[in-house]
Structure 1
Amino acid sequence: MQKGTVWASLILAFILVVTGTAFAEPEFVFKLGHIADPENPYAQGAQKFADLVKEKTGGKVEIQVFPSSQLGNQRDLIEGTQFGTIDFTLTSTAVLGNFLPEVAVFDLPFIFRDVQHAYKALDTVGMEIGAKLEGKGMKVLVYMENGVRHMTNNKHPIRVPEDMKGLKIRVMEQPIYIEMMKALGANPTPMAFGELFTALQQGVVDGQENPAAHIYTARFFEVQKYISLTGHTYSAEPVLVSLKAWNKLSQELQEKVLEAAVEARDWQRNLCRELEDGYWQKIRESGKSEINDDVDKKAFAEATRGVWAKFEDKVGKENIEKTVNVQ
């Protein structure tokens, strides 16, 4: 029996080597945290990134993914990455803007013409701005996607800015979102993502704003009667690495990790485009939330344009112009 076991082990090892699925023991094991449900597209992007890193480094670098706020909320994750207690994170530009104000330029309402414009701006202007984070102990590898954000609430459909008046809306902990809601006549309530479902369920807030992926995967549609496709902002999802972790890697391994990040970014963006219509369809089929696309976006853009002027000094007028003018 012992000889048979030995031979079986040798044969299995040979098969693994031949098929390319055998990896050496990792030289580096890193933690990556984010707040999304594992089903969310950027959560899938995080896992794809981890898988590609393992593949491209021959198993020398392993990234363990911790979804669903297991390692903390977005602010916790960024602070952990900054100080090296967390190695990688995916977070929003909105919350990251509390650490580097210029990156919040991408959260200004209606700054992007469409998602292709967003991709081009993030991959150029975004990387230029993101480089400043290295002075704060972090590095932007790429920008993945959270998506185009829309309003939901339990009171009535939202078609024009006036419909926002008096609604208590949860927002991210970012001044731009707070001022945007005020400009629309709503009452902004900053709150961590992990607390949101219960707050909606219990009526602590009337509504919230998020992309289709979060509205579906976090089950917000189950506790919100109305979804209005306002498309007021686009949410990027930068992939950050702590410089303490990054500097442990040789230049060769750094190149492999960056290569994996770029490939995972493109894969994840395509996934978002493929899944979005399906999310809306599943929500419609549930019968739990009414989706309204009869929204006067021009009126919303005009009502929130003053937010640009209010944050021009903080995010940089030059960054606004560069972003708007990307072709």
Structure 2
Amino acid sequence: MLKHLTKAAALAAFAFGGTAAWAEAHTEFTIRATANSNENDEDYDGLIVFKDYVEAASNGRIAVELFIGTQLCSTGAECLEGVAEGSIDVYISTSGGAAGIFPYVQVLDLPYLMADDRVAEAVLQGDFVRTMRDMALETSDGAIRLMTIGNTGGWRNFANTQRRVQTPTDMEGLKIRTVVADLPQELVRALGASPTPIPWPELFTSFQTGVVEGSKNGITDIMGMKFPDAGLQYVTLDGHAYMGALWWMSNENFMAMPEDLRRVVVDGFAQLQQATFAAPKRNSIQAYADFVAGGGDLYVPTPEEKALFAEAAAPVQDWFRDNVDGGNEILDALLAAVSEVEADLSAGYESDLN
């Protein structure tokens, strides 16, 4: 029996090795994908799923090489330039990282438009993303293609060092850290707080010294950066923005593939999207538990309180329409998509609850 098992194992090993060698020998396209993050990030999880699916489903005709960190590029503008030139095939950015080239992607940062994960995930699997893709192709003269939008860190929530925030009036006077971009600063002002642009690496010290008293981040970022050790003890789960991850690809390199392989790549990005939807939910469980265990105050606004936040922040939509190129078109597309999804979910609840 052992002899037969050993022989079978040897044959299996030979077959596997032969298949791997055959796949390598028959590689027709190589996708170079980069993420300016690390291997503990949901972006990396998504890329691993993408690589595994695409290489297997293409039967080795496509190879995927991953570059995690800043090996290929270090800023959003630099990385997107690489995508446009074709030296980078795939790159993931936040909306802020791509706003310099595609300002309308900041629509994802508009507050209180998508109520929860079910709404956001359904919207991001529909025609809204295709509308944004068409706009990006036009803006980039056909060079940069938006493949999908996933998630990178859950939801943005307000956190601070001073007090529990239950309504917008509790925000008044707080110095809230923002990036150097107009839209998040408009939001903070609309809620009565003071926007204070601070580079991310300086935020821990800024909390300690009181240069800023709050931020708008996901819980995994808060715990990963050990912000509670710097005094950040109050988190309000207002969920004002879904932390969208925009996955870009060189359109020239994508279109150079035959249709059957383009289909594999599209399906690979669908797999990637699902992985990035799931990872932040799983990662946040322990992060929230650790925050509370460390003495943190975690507050969930009531529906009435959340409505007050949405009402106070409503002028930011008008600002977006008036000041962002393509703002009207993309915001109308998002609002229509949200309305359609919410109607579908409502009909589903009507059936499921009765």
Q: Shorter-chain TM-score category?
A: 0.7 to 0.9
Aligned to 1:65: 66
Identify which range, 289-298 or 15-24, moves more after superposition: 15-24
State the shift of 1:267 in Å: 2.9
1:63 to 1:105, Cα distance in 2 relative to 1, 3 A: same
State yes or no: 1:140 paired with 2:149: no
Secondary structure of 1:32's aligned partner: strand
Match of 2:95 among 88, 93, 96: 93
Aligned to 2:57: 56
Residue by residue over 1:222-271, the C-alpha shift from the partner in whole angstroms, topping out at 9 and shown as x without a partner, is: 43222221211112112111224324433332221111111221233133
Identify which range, 130-139 or 273-282, moves more after superposition: 273-282
User: For the pair shown, which has the larger CA radius of gyration, 1 or 2?
Assistant: 2
CA distance in 1, matches of 2:168, 2:243: 21
Give 1:1-327 correspondences, 5 Å limit. Answer: 14-17=14-17, 23-25=23-25, 26-68=27-69, 71-123=73-125, 124-135=127-138, 136=140, 137-146=143-152, 147-191=154-198, 193=200, 196-197=203-204, 199-200=206-207, 204-223=211-230, 224-285=232-293, 287=294, 289-294=296-301, 296-313=305-322, 314=324, 315-316=327-328, 318-327=332-341
Asked if structure 2 preserves the Cα contact closer than 8 Å seen for 1:39 and 1:217, the reply is: no
Q: Which ranges in structure 2 are unaligned for 5 or more consecutive residues?
A: 1-9, 342-354
Asked if structure 2 preserves the Cα contact closer than 8 Å seen for 1:34 and 1:74, the reply is: no
Aligned Cα root-mean-square deviation (Å): 3.1
CA distance in 1, matches of 2:157, 2:281: 16
Letter matched to residue 24 of structure 1: E
State the shift of 1:305 in Å: 0.7
Asked if structure 1 preserves the Cα contact closer than 8 Å seen for 2:77 and 2:101, the reply is: no
Aligned length: 318
Percentage of matched positions with identical amino acids: 24
Asked if structure 2 preserves the Cα contact closer than 8 Å seen for 1:95 and 1:173, the reply is: no
CA distance in 1, matches of 2:129, 2:183: 18
1:172 to 1:69, Cα distance in 2 relative to 1, 3 A: farther
Asked if structure 2 preserves the Cα contact closer than 8 Å seen for 1:150 and 1:210, the reply is: yes
CA distance in 2, matches of 1:142, 1:153: 33
Residue by residue over 1:67-121, the C-alpha shift from the partner in whole angstroms, topping out at 9 and shown as x without a partner, is: 4555313344334333434321111234433322333223211011222211222
State the shift of 1:27 in Å: 4.3
Letter matched to residue 14 of structure 1: F
CA distance in 2, matches of 1:64, 1:195: 32
Aligned to 2:350: none
Residue by residue over 1:127-175, the C-alpha shift from the partner in whole angstroms, topping out at 9 and shown as x without a partner, is: 2222221231211111111221111222333222233233332223442
CA distance in 2, matches of 1:247, 1:197: 44
Secondary structure of 1:259's aligned partner: helix
